[in-house]
Amino acid sequence: MLTVLLTDQEMMMALLRQDQSASEGASGETAWAVLEAANDLGDTATVDACRRVIDASLRGAAPASSDVALVTAFFG
């Protein structure tokens, strides 16, 4: 048996991919990338929106459209 150690982020990403449609998974993955960048820049409003999108994805709920819009517009 092979044991693979995962970081917290890798574990969360694996959980996000489980039982989700492609669009829901994409928003969760995008939120992780934006969270990292927004954290580096000190953009607390975007960090908070990313956390809400990630949390909703983990719960299997739809994130607020305003949070998704903020996350997707971050790199735009």
The string of pLDDT tens digits covering residues 16-45 is 554 344 445 557 788 999 999 999 999 999
- Directed axis angle between helix 44-59 and helix 65-73, to 10°? 120
Query: Whole-model pTM above 0.75?
Result: no
* 53 or 7, which is more confident: 53
